[in-house]
Amino acid sequence: MSETYEEALAHTNTYSRPSQLRITDIRIANMGAHGWRRPLIKVMTNQGLEGYGEVRDGASKTYALMLKSRLLGENPCDVDRLFRRIKQFGYHGRQAGGVCGLEVALWDLAGKAYGVPVYQMLGGRFRDRIRIYCDTDVRGKDTGLAMGQALKQRMEMGFTFLKMDVGINLLAGVEGALTAPLGFLEELRNAVRHPSPDLPDLEQRRLRNRWYDLNNIAHPFTGIRITEKGLDYLEEYVAEVRSVIGYEIPLATDHFGHIGLEDGIKIAQRLDKYNLAWYEDMLPWQYTDQYVRLAQACKTPLCTGEDIYLKENFRPLLEAHAVSIIHPDILSCGGILELKKIGDMAQDYGVAMAIHMAESPIACMAAVHAAAATENFLVLENHSVDDPKWNLLVHGLPNPIIQQGFIQVPERPGLGITALNDEVIAEYLDPNDPDLWSPTEAWDREFSHDRLWS
């Protein structure tokens, strides 16, 4: 029996002709309230399809808007070609946020246009669910027993991989635990990260910039050292954690703080006995030779990479056998395809890939698709397990998105997100930039001579 017209429409894509798809607009929702600094991106097209991306946490929406004029009128399905056009405008750390966020949105559009999930366009999947670890920080957990109990609760939620903070932040209030140039630690502690709104704008900016100046001194140049008392404190802290959670579950550590190589070696050797999953960002990622020295001095895997942009900048660490785990962020490394390329390259050196992720469900699902398609993937981070509204920012995904420590790889086209939840997004908008998806015509004609050679 032949189908009726309405029945045929029910399983026919009538709104997308991929070869004729064109980008017509790019809008931003600048989330900046309640501790969030994550501009969300909406890329609009002539066929009604929308692609979703976001700028990495802490970065400016300008990083994305400045690229709008370079993408208008283009076919978003030409993802690699368009990425090569705009990738020169990214850099390490947050500066890559606009390039990466738009690359994610292009993949979302391509998947929706062709009716397939992103992982399928990357070559298919190696797994149908993605293991998650949720960061558990030190705030309010100033003893190892308290941290251990917090991690035990994660295990009861179904998480099979854990991570905690342990480093010089724990020692800030411990007398005799740290040595530093007189006054430096006090100034760092007292620097105002979020100045009072009652201060004049210029004074707020000066104080904020001072905080960044102090916090961004590279590890070898701060003069901060850890004393034997400090080392004893950290070792006891980790021992207490392990006494609560046991040794059956992997336990990774986050960034240790701004200390030099020699003190990093001291900490690493003290904590080796606790069989940790990795030491993360113990040194700035640029110092490959120092990572080699650290790797040769301890017996715990080393992990770094959340601020590295593009696959070629991971290669020195891999060629030197300086790390056991690479740790790219999809909104810093170059986006979905670049993340898969990084993972594949690391596999050639016998190095696993964990993925850093501290953003909204948009970046999370982008990382899920890349992880599904990359063989040497280990585990994906999540920073929002304790925020129930995180799950409500988008439509089309299960609620909660993470179930029993895993995220199911979606089968819907693109990222698997059917729409954004503007009502919830509005609650997170930056108070100084409260417009939701406001027009961005001012960026339509932005132009520069972008060629990198003559």
Render pLDDT for 101-131 as a digit per residue (tens, 0 to 9): 999 999 999 999 999 999 999 999 999 999 9
DSSP calls for 282-312: SS-TT-HHHHHHHHHH-SS-EEE-TT--SGG
Q: What is the DSSP letter of 87?
A: G
Residue that has been written with the tokens 């100034």 in this structure: 187
Cα distance between residue 39 and residue 201, in whole Å: 22
Statement: residue 16 has pLDDT above 80: no
Instruction: Delineate the domains of the chain, giving CATH numbers in brackets.
Output: 5-119+433-443 (3.30.390.10), 129-167+220-412 (3.20.20.120), 181-219 (no CATH)
In this structure, how many other beta carbons lie within 10 angstroms of the beta carbon of residue 204?
A: 16
- The residues near 71 (Cβ < 8 Å, ≥ 6 apart) are 23, 26, 43, 82, 86, 102
Residue 191 is predicted with a pLDDT of 63
Cα distance between residue 266 and residue 263, in whole Å: 5
What does the mean pLDDT of the chain come to? 92
Instruction: Identify each DSSP E strand in 32-173 by its residue range.
Output: 38-45, 50-54, 129-136, 162-164
> 448 or 61: which carries more pLDDT confidence?
61
pLDDT tens-digit readout, 265-321: 999 999 999 999 999 999 999 999 999 999 999 999 999 999 999 999 999 999 999
Statement: residue 197 has pLDDT above 90: no
At 450, is the pLDDT very low, low, confident or very high (cuts 50, 70, 90)? confident
pLDDT tens-digit readout, 431-445: 988 989 999 999 999
Least confident interval from 33-37, 157-161, 257-261, 271-275: 33-37
Exposed/middle/buried for residue 254 (C-beta within 10 Å: 0-12, 13-18, 19+): buried
Residue 30 C-beta-side C-alpha neighbours within 13 Å: 17
Statement: residue 264 has pLDDT above 70: yes
* C-alpha closest to that of 29 among 21, 37, 18: 37
Residue that has been written with the tokens 């809008």 in this structure: 27
Q: What is the DSSP letter of 332?
A: T
Q: Average pLDDT in the 347-365 region?
A: 97
Exposed/middle/buried for residue 335 (C-beta within 10 Å: 0-12, 13-18, 19+): buried
**453 vs 66, 99, 450, CA distance in Å?**
21, 20, 9
Q: Average pLDDT in the 246-274 region?
A: 96
* C-alpha closest to that of 264 among 238, 236, 290, 241: 290
Q: Average pLDDT in the 366-384 region?
A: 97
